[in-house]
């Protein structure tokens, strides 16, 4: 085992002053002076103050340990070592990535057959920058051309340890700027996991979303620290903190997110989701959607509770976004409209905002700037039973004096949207001035509605 000072000296010539070096240097700074090779203790999972929609299954103690070998040179693929340890300890074991060790993953890992296993990641793990390999071999997840470096799924799986996963995102940010149609992998793919936890980890420089949770139930994310901005003039785009998809009874809590897209987004068929105690900076808000993108698909998001959020320097605070009933194009690689479904029983409670463009945004014209066309073809995704309360703070100058936007494409597909205890102030001092359209304004308590400038820009 090398001490962290010698590891740093070894890697300085390899990494230089890149974003990857910044991530690794941060990882080193968090290590104790004397490194331990011992197993860690699985963090206690507790739900405060809100409880999940359903109780989580118990996860029994593990009965054996498996240590993951490493080349420890930041060049050689360690995937075979990782698979060997996981296979050895599957069904009852504890896999340990020791402190101060570095791992390189250059192979797409299918980890969907896990059962009763803990992955104790105390180390630094970096995914290679071989963009040709990952575009050809990353796991395709069907939704919006999403791909993942690996797929983690199965039954009763816990991942923790205080270590860091580095997606080596800079090369992808620059590549995407040159070609918007490349497939950028998601850093952490939770795919088909039934009962598990992901906690006490640092995620850095994901090429696209940081977390994609698909076809999963009874999963909690806790104490996750997310960050990673571009070091060039090419923005790190679509770096959502979490996207949930076809999943239920998911909890995301007690985490810090510094990113450039949705802090958390509830994609199609996300139900019984609790998000609480989050610090979001630079994001596009806590978002329902986008929904109704694909003709013939039925998208449902219902029973979502969002509580105690701090939102800084963002485009939105609380956000619901669905596509219109006719085709629309947000960008060359993101277009849609005409799908159906519903958004129902959504609660946002207690959100503090600072320098946020819209404190609250509800739109059924996502991707369509022509409001006349959008209203001619109202969304097929209904929105009902939405309660947003105790949102307070300051907005940015972008839309002042307007501080919020609640516009439906038709009254027939939007009902029972209630706003209470809202106190959001524009930089010019105007409070609670919203753009409203095709909604019951009597339910927007304390909001001053205007119908001018209905476009969302």
285 pLDDT exceeds 80? yes
pLDDT confidence of residue 18: 64
SS3 for the chain is CCCHHHHHHHHHHHHCCCHHHHHHHHHHHCCCCCCCCCCCCCCCCCCCCCCCCCCCCCCCCCCEEEECCCCCCCCCCCHHHHHHHHHHHCCCEEEEECCCCEEEECCCEEEEEEEEEEEEECCEEEECCCHHHHHHHCEECCHHHCEECEEEEEEEEEEECCCEEECCCHHHHHHHHHCCCCCCEECEEEEEEEEEEEEEEEEECCCCCCEEEECCEEEEEEEEEEECCCCCCCCCCCCCCEEEECEEEEEEEEEEEECCCCCEEECCCEEEEEEEEEEEECCCCEEEEEECCCCCCEEEEEEEEEEEEEEECCCEEEEEEECCCCCEEEECCEEECCCEEEEEEEEEEEEEEEEECEEEEEECCCCCCCHHHHHHCCCEEEEEEEEEEEEEEEECCCCCCCCEEEECCCHHHEEEEEEEEEEEECCCCCECEEEEECCCHHHECCCEEECCCCCCC
14 pLDDT exceeds 60? no
CB count, 10 Å around CB of 252? 27
Q: Are residues 27 and 125 in contact, defined by beta-carbon separation less than 8 angstroms?
A: no
Instruction: Enumerate domains of the chain plus CATH numbers.
Output: 4-450 (2.160.20.10)
Distance, in Å, from the CA atom of 190 to the CA atom of 411, rounded to the nearest integer, reads 37
Distance, in Å, from the CA atom of 336 to the CA atom of 322, rounded to the nearest integer, reads 10
pLDDT confidence of residue 331: 81
Query: Distance between the two ends of the chain, CA-based, in angstroms?
Result: 55
4 pLDDT exceeds 90? no
Q: Which pair of structure tokens corresponds to residue 183?
A: 């497939």
Distance, in Å, from the CA atom of 27 to the CA atom of 121, rounded to the nearest integer, reads 12
Residue 253 Cα distances to 1, 47, 235, 289, 321, angstroms: 34, 8, 27, 19, 22
- Between 308 and 373, name the one with better pLDDT: 308
34 pLDDT exceeds 80? yes
Q: What is the mean predicted confidence (pLDDT) over 402-410?
A: 95
Q: Which residue has the tokens 């959008």?
A: 374
Taking only the tens place, the pLDDT of each residue in 218-230 is: 999 999 999 999 9
Question: Out of 116, 118, 200, 284, which one is annotated catalytic?
Answer: 284
1 pLDDT exceeds 70? no
pLDDT confidence of residue 2: 37
Q: Which pair of structure tokens corresponds to residue 106?
A: 């250059």
Q: Which residue has the tokens 């118990």?
A: 58
5 pLDDT exceeds 80? no
Q: Are residues 77 and 106 in contact, defined by beta-carbon separation less than 8 angstroms?
A: yes
Q: What is the mean predicted confidence (pLDDT) over 405-415?
A: 94
Taking only the tens place, the pLDDT of each residue in 323-352 is: 999 888 888 877 889 999 999 999 999 999
Nearest to 156 by CA among 39, 278, 42, 41: 42
- Cis? peptide before 290, omega within 30° of 0: yes
pLDDT confidence of residue 454: 60
- Between 137 and 1, name the one with better pLDDT: 137
Confidence grade of residue 21 (pLDDT, cut at 50, 70, 90): confident
Taking only the tens place, the pLDDT of each residue in 82-131 is: 999 999 999 999 999 999 999 999 999 999 999 999 999 999 999 999 99
Distance, in Å, from the CA atom of 227 to the CA atom of 249, rounded to the nearest integer, reads 26
Distance, in Å, from the CA atom of 284 to the CA atom of 200, rounded to the nearest integer, reads 24
Q: Which pair of structure tokens corresponds to residue 316?
A: 């939105």
pLDDT confidence of residue 142: 87
Distance, in Å, from the CA atom of 433 to the CA atom of 448, rounded to the nearest integer, reads 5
Q: Residue 43: phi, psi to the nearest 5?
A: -60, 145
pLDDT confidence of residue 347: 98
pLDDT confidence of residue 6: 45
Distance, in Å, from the CA atom of 67 to the CA atom of 82, rounded to the nearest integer, reads 9
Quote the mean pLDDT of the chain: 93
Which percentage of the chain shows pLDDT scores above 70? 94
Q: What is the mean predicted confidence (pLDDT) over 139-159?
A: 96
The sign of the torsion formed by the CA atoms of 333, 289, 320, 298 equals positive
Q: Which pair of structure tokens corresponds to residue 29?
A: 């700074």
Which percentage of the chain shows pLDDT scores above 90? 86
pLDDT confidence of residue 197: 98
Confirm whether 200 is a catalytic residue.
no
pLDDT confidence of residue 10: 46
pLDDT confidence of residue 372: 84
pLDDT confidence of residue 334: 79
Confirm whether 333 is a catalytic residue.
no
Question: Out of 200, 223, 261, 299, which one is annotated catalytic?
Answer: 261
pLDDT confidence of residue 453: 58
pLDDT confidence of residue 13: 43
Our CA angle for 184, 185, 187, nearest 5°, is 135
Q: Are residues 196 and 219 in contact, defined by beta-carbon separation less than 8 angstroms?
A: yes
Confidence grade of residue 39 (pLDDT, cut at 50, 70, 90): confident
């Amino acid at each position: 085992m090398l001490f962290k000072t010698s590891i740093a000296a070894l890697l300085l010539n390899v990494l230089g002053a890149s974003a990857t070096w910044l991530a690794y240097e941060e990882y080193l700074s968090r290590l104790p002076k004397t490194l331990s090779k011992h197993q860690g203790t699985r963090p206690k999972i507790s739900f405060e103050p809100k409880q999940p929609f359903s109780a989580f299954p118990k996860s029994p103690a593990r009965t054996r340990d498996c240590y993951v070998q490493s080349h420890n040179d930041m060049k050689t693929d360690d995937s075979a070592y990782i698979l060997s340890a996981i296979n050895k300890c599957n069904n009852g074991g504890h896999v340990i990535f020791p402190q101060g060790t570095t791992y390189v993953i250059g192979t797409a890992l299918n980890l969907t057959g896990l059962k009763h296993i803990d992955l104790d990641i105390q180390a630094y793990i970096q995914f290679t920058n071989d963009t040709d390999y990952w575009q050809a071999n990353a796991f395709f997840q069907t939704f919006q051309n999403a791909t993942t470096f690996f797929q983690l799924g199965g039954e009763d799986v816990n991942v923790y340890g205080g270590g860091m996963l580095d997606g080596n995102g800079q090369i992808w940010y620059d590549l995407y700027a040159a070609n918007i149609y490349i497939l950028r992998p998601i850093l952490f793919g939770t795919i088909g996991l039934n009962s598990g936890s992901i906690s006490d980890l640092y995620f850095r420089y994901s090429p696209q979303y940081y977390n994609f949770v698909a076809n999963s139930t009874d999963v909690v994310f806790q104490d996750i620290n997310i960050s990673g901005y571009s070091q060039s003039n090419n923005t790190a785009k679509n770096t959502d903190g979490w996207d949930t998809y076809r999943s239920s009874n998911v909890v995301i809590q007690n985490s810090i997110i510094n990113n450039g897209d949705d802090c958390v987004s509830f994609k199609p068929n996300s139900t019984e989701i609790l998000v609480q105690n989050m610090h979001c900076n630079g994001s596009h808000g806590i978002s329902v959607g986008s929904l109704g993108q694909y003709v013939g698909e039925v998208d449902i998001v219902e029973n979502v509770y969002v509580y105690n959020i701090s939102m800084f320097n963002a485009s939105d605070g609380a956000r619901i976004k669905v596509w219109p009933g006719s085709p629309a194009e947000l960008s060359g690689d993101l277009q849609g409209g005409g799908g159906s479904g519903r958004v129902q029983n959504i609660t946002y409670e207690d959100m503090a905002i600072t320098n946020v463009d819209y404190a609250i945004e509800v739109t059924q014209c996502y991707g369509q700037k022509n409001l006349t066309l959008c209203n001619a073809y109202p969304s097929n995704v209904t929105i009902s039973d939405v309660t947003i309360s105790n949102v307070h703070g300051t907005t940015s100058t972008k839309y002042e004096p307007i501080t919020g936007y609640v516009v439906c494409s038709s009254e027939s597909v939007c009902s029972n949207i209630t706003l209470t205890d809202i106190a959001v102030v524009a930089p010019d001092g105007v409070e609670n001035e919203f753009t409203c359209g095709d909604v019951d304004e009597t339910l927007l308590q304390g909001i001053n509605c205007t119908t001018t400038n209905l476009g969302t820009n």
